[in-house]
Structure 1
Amino acid sequence: MEIRNLRYFLAVAREENMSRAAELLHVTQPTLSKSLKSLEEELGKKLFTRHSFSIKLTDEGMLLRDRAEDLVLMADKIEQEFISLNDITGGDIYFGLAESYQICHLAKEIKKLKDSYPSFTYHITSGDTEQITEKLDKGLLDFGVICELPNKEKYDSITFPDTDRWGAVMLKSHPLAKKKSIKATDLIGHPLFCSEQSWNIEIPQWAGNQFSKLHLEGSFRLAYNASMFAKEGLGILLTFEHLINCSEESDLVFRPLTPKQETKLYLIWNKYQTFTPIAEKFLAQIRESF
């Protein structure tokens, strides 16, 4: 299976139009059609259904799209890594990051590396632990940042210098906003928003035997999106401090959880991973700083 054919396939899947895809790829439409036909013959499956003015993916086409995106990204990453082997002044590093104010520490280290090696390029993707470790396992990332104790059998890690404090974000007009801190019993009967990962791990640890009495109204991967629902008065968001604007100008307030609940952040990478020179320099720098 040729990577070029997969690139052509992804372009058509994205544009849903053969002529537009051919124009973007700078190839003729017959060349593009031949490539897609070759791919369908190779897989023995129909990948597209053709309509008057558009092309839609079949179920098999959707499956290939998901796999092809990873394969093409991996091919690009391998190419960049080999280019970087003889280039100690630059190269690419791929990061997958959890949401945390502590990402500021990582940003400072990237800035220091960028100052020393201006041609160094970094790529950032965001997600929870499941999303990040999946990409790390596939080799699509060099480093991940997660807020869950890493699997020591699979990953090496460095702990970030600070911790994230948990709290409740709600409207200033909410009755619980009058409290200086929030107990688990205070949240009983109130609709709650939280990430699915934290609802299954951190919140049960904090709430103890009161956890079964709490109601998850909705789960979010991104705290900012959840804060929009809290802003409409639809519920209370349980999240890290500093992620949501709770300044005097905001309609929202942050109240810390009691007893105090904190989470550590970890920089992780695959055990026995071979790094490019620039990634090695980054890791050495992080070890010294952290």
Structure 2
Amino acid sequence: MGVELRHLEAFLAAAEEGSISRAARLLRVTQPALSRTLSQLEQQVGATLLRRSAKGVELTAEGMAFRRKATQAVDAFTEAVSSPFDAPRPLRVGHAWAALGRFTTGLIRRWPVEHPEYRLQLRQVDDLYVKLDEAAIDIAVVRGQRPGPRYRHALLYRENRLVAAPAQHELADRLSVTLGDLARYDLVVNTASGTTDHLWDESQRPTVKVEVATVDDWLSNIAAGAGLGITPDPSSQLYQRPEIVYLPLRDAPPVAVYLAWPPSSAHPALRDFLSIVKELVHQ
């Protein structure tokens, strides 16, 4: 017996739900039946794809790689048997925050005019490269370090850095600040999407007092006076709060903004998306 569509659907449901029982309810099968289907799949591919525990299931390294292939296979099958009147799969663009910054509005306005057949989905996700590997998104907007050799990429533009400070902070009235000005203050760092690494020598580096994993937590800690934040300039438009001020950080290197996608990305609108974004940036 080879791998069938039901095996792939069972695996993808379990991976998405993180639970055999929830995946079984989603697929309307019994839990033992789903477990047997997953065991059959693992025997066929010769690898353990899911790690079971009392908390549920999580993907192994082999499972993460297989998820991308399974998603592509199911998508291809669905497209092959779908009615020609069914809507094509949307182009899914992942970003940690801010999407394409000041170019986002132009993209949203232009895309449906030039490509009404493909809906554009902007998805805010925490781990962009994991989602690319899982084929949960087709392309990602990445800020900071250049994507690794496993991904194709295009450098779009660079964003200046700002300091986010509580409105009552002693630096709040400054027209701008420098990295040296910040050395004696505490920092609030977003570990999921932050871009503050390697700005200081070790001897001058401020203390990281709070680490968070979301933009909302980052803003809340800064507003409460837990420390200062450093961020690219779209934050001053996207995350305005009366208790936070943004100050230009005049001697810090700008943040590079890339598009990154795996070589296996095969969405038919991907090439046109790259062209439109590059045109928007260059204009």
TM-score, normalised to structure 2's length? Answer: 0.71
The runs of at least 4 aligned residues of structure 1 exceeding 4 Å deviation read 7-18, 39-45, 64-74, 81-87, 244-247
What is the letter of the counterpart of residue 220 of structure 1?
V
What is the letter of the counterpart of residue 241 of structure 1?
D
What is the letter of the counterpart of residue 8 of structure 2?
I
- Contact 1:159–1:266 (CA<8 Å) still a contact in 2? yes
Q: Which runs of 5+ in 2 are unaligned?
A: none
Q: Which runs of 5+ in 1 are unaligned?
A: 49-56
Partner Cα separation in structure 2 for residue 246 and residue 5 of structure 1: 40
The 3 A distance-change label for structure 1 pair 257 and 210 is farther
2:30 maps to 32
Establish whether residue 120 from structure 1 lines up as the match of residue 118 from structure 2.
yes
Shift of 1:265: 0.6
Choose between structure 1 and 2: higher helix proportion: 1
Higher radius of gyration, 1 or 2: 1
What is the letter of the counterpart of residue 143 of structure 1?
I
- Contact 1:147–1:263 (CA<8 Å) still a contact in 2? yes
Shift of 1:35: 1.3
Partner Cα separation in structure 1 for residue 90 and residue 226 of structure 2: 42
2:277 maps to 286
Shift of 1:220: 2.9
Identity %: 15
2:204 maps to 211
What is the letter of the counterpart of residue 269 of structure 2?
I
One of 8, 12, 18 as aligned partner of 1:3: 8
One of 154, 158, 179 as aligned partner of 1:158: 154
- Contact 2:179–2:252 (CA<8 Å) still a contact in 1? no
Partner Cα separation in structure 2 for residue 11 and residue 136 of structure 1: 15
- Contact 1:154–1:270 (CA<8 Å) still a contact in 2? yes
- Once the two structures are superposed, the pairs formed by residues 1-290 of structure 1 within 5 Å of their partners are 2-6=7-11, 9=14, 22=25, 25=27, 27=28, 31-39=29-37, 42=40, 58-59=53-54, 61-64=56-59, 75-81=70-76, 90-100=88-98, 102-127=100-125, 131-151=127-147, 153-161=149-157, 163-196=158-191, 202-205=196-199, 207-208=200-201, 211-212=204-205, 214-244=206-236, 250-271=242-263, 273=264, 275-290=266-281
Partner Cα separation in structure 2 for residue 264 and residue 270 of structure 1: 19
Shift of 1:172: 1.4
SS in 1 for 2:57: helix
**CA RMSD, 1 decimal:** 4.1
